[in-house]
A and B are shown apart, each in its own frame.
Chain A
Amino acid sequence: MTRGRGLLMICAALAAGPVRAEDPAIATFAEETEAAGFAHSFTGEWEFMVGGGTAVFDCSGDGRPDVFAAGGTAPGQMFRNDSETGGALRLTPVESGLEQEAVSGAYPIDIDGDGVIDVALLRVGPDRLMRGLGECRFEDASAAWGFDGLDLWSTAFAATWEAGQDWPTLAVGTYIDRAQEAFPWGNCTPNHLYRPAGGGGFAAPLPLEPGFCALSILFTDWDRQGTPDLRVSNDREYYKGGQEQLWRIEPGQPPVAFTEADGWQRLRIWGMGIAQEDITFDGFPEFYLTSMADNKLQTLAEVPAEGAPKPRYRDVALKAGVTAHRPYTGDDLRPSTAWHAQFGDVNNDGLSDLFVVKGNVWEMPDFAQADPNNLLLQRADGTFLESGDRAGVASMRQGRGGALADLNMDGWLDMVVINRNEPAQVWRNMGADAGADAGRWVQVALEMPGPNRQAVGAWIEVKLADGLVQQREVTIGGGHVGGVLGWHHFGLGTAETTEVRVRWPDGTVGPWQALAADAFWTLAPGAEPVRRE
């Protein structure tokens, strides 16, 4: 693979200071929380100081992403998306079977491959796998699927389909041994890997030890070798002898942690969230790791001409302008606390932007109490422009989870934020004023036969107007205790058409297929794209 222009630009910036390309158009958002009927709070004290995830996926079968919000000590809540296309947001609370307490987060995943999305509920207590029944109804299938949810404080989730398997492999990250009241430090509980059992369901959980209090995990094919490994971001507040982790997950083999001998470099942060995107256009993903004060943007230190890279990363957050280390608006200049992070092209200019949810842990006086969420717009030179205040999304509430998803199906990514002990919020993206021909987009859903219906592990490649190719891995995991499953959104700038191809999880590469902009398309192996009418 060759290096893309983004990395070259960042390298130039590292050498000579940031170069300011033309600032991107600012997408503006309108908060429609109340009008949409999105009434929900994630509540709780110490055991819910982390958590507050949201799962965004279509549970009703109408193709529109619905929203589930974890509730902590309050019941979780499912909201059916009744928004009109291009219209105001409308989220209707519905009885779903997910109204469970002690839920810290949730991820959508079609576990049993029946085409109906299921939900993994992460809890302070035994986790549960909830089978989707259609019409936004769910039932607890944990026992039926042989899933031992364990009685731990679960705070992270990821899933992949290992080669040759009909069922997914799940990874659950856990936090502190909550029985250790006076001396919890050094008492991180293990993470666990749930591999398929022969004949369906899951085998007994396999401990991933040592655990270092994970707050985000992600299966990622970081080295593009075709087999995802497990990236784990850990909270240094609680571990001893710990660090960030990367586990090699080879089919049929026990997990093995990457070490310094493999090139893995020790990094110790208050890891809280992982976002992945190839923002340098070299085919290898960058990782944004949220923390307290400075956040990290990691890019591979070296990509060899041949063979796999080593997992050595450089932090380019400072030069890219995404340290997001303190509030950028308001009077509170104490350091920030960042949680959920997600890349997405909110202004449809063809460059992925970065959304970060912020909020004080719990009255920590050395950190900002009024800590606005970030919406960092990528410039053409690979640096980012903070736009949260001008975009209208600079909420000062105690944010935790979040999501970017096109709720009203107008091609512009809307925003959901779950706050702790304060009402959750939703914003409608009103678009960006970049000219009449700009702001085009395409959204793609993958559909595979067999168990891995949503093609988790595939790479979607989209040609952009300037000859670059955006490559994005289909993943389940990362963020902060919540994720989005469904349409994959790509901004196209002024392009009226684009070409898209898919590297499917089994390694086969589909053809480049022309797609008209401003439309939703379903892609399947060996088939013509199907446009959603």
Chain B
Amino acid sequence: MKIFKGVYVALAVVACLGGAPALAGPAQDDRSEVLANWYRMILELVRHTPTQTPPVASRSFAYTAIIAYEATASGAPELQTLAGQLVWLDPLPVREAGVDYADDVVLNAAMARAVDVYFANTGPTGQRAKAALYKQLEGKVGAGVAADVLARSAAYGTAVADHVIAASEDDGGAVIENMGFPMTHTLGGEPQDWVPTNLIRLQQAPLLPAWGTNRPMVLPSGEACPLPPPPAYSEEPGSEFHAQAMEVYETSRALTDEQKRIARFWSDDPMLSPTPPGHWVAILFQIAARDQRPVEAQVDALVRLGIAVSDGFIVNWRDKYRYDLLRPITYIRRVIDPAWEPLLNTPPFPEYPSGHSTQSGAVAQVLTAVFGEGFAFTDSTHVDDGLAPRDFPDFWTAAREAGISRLYGGIHFRAAIDLGLEQGACVGDFVNGLKTWK
């Protein structure tokens, strides 16, 4: 099954469209198939749409998940809406009483609209793919459905999506220009301040410096989950800062094969992967397929994950630009070894705290609440890219590995990782306060 290799192996049991062979067995729940296929598409579009850097992707994952959740909840009596719990989200359109709806048609229409809007700027191949997928799914879920039910369901799904989309437009993250890099930027000028770390012209200014001012999804304010300053900058041997840099340096010079595998596994580079938040979304769908989880449970976990990563990136970015700390490559070359090369490419924005750590901590906190402690899983996200699956005994183990991977990769100091994970847990606690099941 060529189209379901790698990260999508697990999805193959619930999703099969396009040029691939038909599903084995009955299509017992078309909503799961609709959801899996649209998220397969979303994960591709995140990878292939240049503006979908990790913060932007986290926002896309959040709103598409909210749409998926609300479209599903509208036909699932056991789920309750997030309107009002998310203070910026007014009550959604309600279904007309006394008439039939096809829930999978509702979901398909909602997801199609969501993907069209949040990936409106994808390239010609993405546009073509979106249209092709909608057409294929429309044919499948619409088969045998009465015309009036079909029309009503599609219109309702679209209305649900439009309602969330309208509410998202003023959150501060809707418009991305110049792929997120300011046309002008003034560097801090102090020794500890971030400076560009590569020779790419576009990245001589840092990514999305105002992202931390976006409206959060569930956090009470943009000042929630604050972090203390990083260790005081010093070039003195023996200082805390110097010691943390030496840890990165010495680790990089003695990396084991396993440490290299870990660094690359969680590298999750934009445009070359589904990004860090997409990595967790991919994990969630692998679990859903493995365990044949009902669609209501899938959207519950999905919306919590989406909100967690989105709010995680907002507070993380707030602190990145609050502290504007230089990257290890800058410090180590300045103070320790001018010829030093880290394993990974250094991302083009300030160091502290680690974005991957914050959002992974948030996800771990949320998914542990959903699935329970000690929930083991296999992560096959990067099989297509030649990276072998990794097994984890629980979500926090995976999150901590994601965090330390940044030290192995030579792009973060330890404080950014440890405190980033703590910040993520704080965000996750707020998400866990959402009530989804009645």
Contacts and interface: CB of A to CB of B under 8 A. Distances in A.
A185 B48 contact: yes
A181 B179 contact: no
Contact of A335 (B44, B120, B125, B202): B202
A333 B201 CA distance: 13
Greatest chain B CB density within 10 A among A181, A236, A237, A317 is at A181
Given A237-B48, A240-B385, A268-B272, A293 B179 contact: yes
Interface in B124-183: 124-125, 128-129, 132-133, 136, 176-179, 183
Contact of B384 (A46, A179, A240, A319): A240
Interface string B42-57: 0010011011000000
B17 to A, nearest CB: 6
A364 B124 contact: yes
B267 to A, nearest CB: 11
Contacts of B123: 237, 361-362, 364
Contacts of B5: 186
A348 B177 CA distance: 40
A183 B178 contact: no
Contacts of B199: 315-319
B336 interface: no
A449 to B, nearest CB: 47
Interface string A298-342: 000000000000000001111100010110000001110000000
Greatest chain A CB density within 10 A among B5, B51, B177, B179 is at B179
Nearest to B269: A268
Contacts of B129: 181-184
Contacts of B178: 333-335
B201 A318 contact: yes
B200 interface: yes
A179 B385 CA distance: 21
B415 interface: no
A236 B272 contact: yes
A365 interface: yes
B128 A181 contact: yes
B438 interface: no
B183 A333 contact: yes
B136 A182 contact: yes
Contacts of A333: 178, 183
Q: Is the interface of A mostly helix, strand, loop or mixed?
A: loop
A317 B200 CA distance: 8
B228 interface: no
Interface string A159-201: 0000000000000000010011111111100000000000000
A180 B19 contact: yes
A399 to B, nearest CB: 16
Contact of B2 (A187, A240, A326): A187
A186 B385 CA distance: 9
Interface string A232-252: 000011101100000000000
B434 interface: no
B84 interface: no
Greatest chain A CB density within 10 A among B51, B121, B200 is at B200
Nearest to B3: A183
B384 A365 contact: no
Contacts of A437: none
Nearest to A319: B199
Nearest to A325: B201
A46 B124 contact: yes
A88 interface: no
A179 B129 CA distance: 12
B50 A366 contact: yes
Greatest chain B CB density within 10 A among A185, A325, A335 is at A185
A363 B136 CA distance: 25
B322 to A, nearest CB: 28
A349 B109 CA distance: 62
A516 interface: no
A292 B17 contact: no
Given A179-B19, A182-B41, A318-B201, A240 B48 contact: no
Contacts of A318: 199-201
B18 interface: yes
A112 interface: no
A183 B18 contact: yes
A46 B123 CA distance: 10
A257 interface: no
A46 B200 contact: no
Contacts of A315: 199
B225 interface: no
B48 A49 contact: no
Contacts of B136: 182
A11 B48 CA distance: 35
B121 A364 contact: yes
A294 interface: yes
B271 interface: yes
A177 to B, nearest CB: 9
B121 A365 contact: yes
B6 A240 contact: yes
Contacts of A237: 48, 123, 125
A183 B44 contact: yes
A120 B302 CA distance: 51
A294 B124 contact: no
Interface in A130-185: 176, 179-185
Greatest chain A CB density within 10 A among B179, B201, B271 is at B201
A234 to B, nearest CB: 12
Contact of B47 (A46, A185, A317, A366): A185
B385 A294 contact: no
A317 B385 CA distance: 28
A73 to B, nearest CB: 15
Interface string A362-391: 111111000000000000000000000000
Given A318-B199, A366-B50, A366-B51, A184 B125 contact: yes
Nearest to B136: A182
Contacts of B202: 293-294, 325-326, 335
B40 interface: yes
Contacts of A180: 3, 18-19
A241 B124 contact: no
A176 B125 CA distance: 11
Contacts of A240: 6, 384-385
Contacts of B177: 334
Nearest to B47: A185
A218 B132 CA distance: 35
A345 to B, nearest CB: 25
A385 B94 CA distance: 62
Nearest to B5: A186
A247 to B, nearest CB: 18
A184 to B, nearest CB: 6
A333 B202 CA distance: 12
B386 interface: yes
A181 B126 CA distance: 10
Interface string B198-218: 011110000000000000000
Contacts of B133: 182
Nearest to B137: A182
Interface string B257-268: 000000000000
Contacts of B272: 236, 268
Contact of B385 (A241, A292, A362): A241
28 contacts: A46-B124, A46-B125, A46-B128, A49-B124, A179-B19, A181-B128, A181-B129, A182-B3, A185-B48, A186-B384, A238-B125, A240-B385, A241-B386, A268-B272, A293-B202, A316-B199, A317-B199, A318-B201, A319-B199, A326-B202, A333-B178, A362-B123, A362-B124, A363-B124, A364-B121, A366-B121, A366-B176, A366-B179
Closest 6 CB pairs of A and B: A362-B124, A241-B386, A323-B201, A182-B132, A240-B384, A241-B385
Interface of A: 46, 49, 176, 179-187, 236-238, 240-241, 268, 292-294, 315-319, 323, 325-326, 333-335, 361-367
Given A181-B18, A185-B44, A241-B384, 7 more contacts: A181-B19, A182-B129, A184-B129, A185-B48, A240-B6, A333-B178, A362-B124
